[in-house]
Amino acid sequence: MEIECMCLECGISLYLQTSSLVLGSFIEGDKRLVDNTFCSQCGGPLLAVGKAGEQRNYIVSSDHLTGLNSS
């Protein structure tokens, strides 16, 4: 099984095998930091956000927000 992990520094998503991960402390309620793996792009800490394939809307487009503020 794979889970989706989001980098806390640069915000990219990585899909990692759960068997190779060590999960650490809980933050933001039900999400957990990954203790033994770091971002392949920037080396930042990773947050386990859910199973691979789940559509989570945690990435917010700045273009979309601009449209909402037009009123």
Binding-site ranges for Zn ion (CB under 5 A): 7, 9-10, 39, 41-42, 44
Q: Report the nearest approach of Zn ion to the CB of residue 37 (Å).
A: 12
Which CB, 13 or 52, lies closer to Zn ion?
A: 13
Q: Report the nearest approach of Zn ion to the CB of residue 25 (Å).
A: 19
Which CB, 2 or 9, lies closer to Zn ion?
A: 9
Backbone angles phi, psi at 3, to 5 degrees: -120, 155
- Structure token pair of residue 7: 């980098």
SS3 58: coil
CB 16, CB 61: distance < 8 Å: no
Q: Report the nearest approach of Zn ion to the CB of residue 67 (Å).
A: 27
Residues ≥6 apart with Cβ < 8 Å to 17 = 1, 2
Which CB, 12 or 71, lies closer to Zn ion?
A: 12
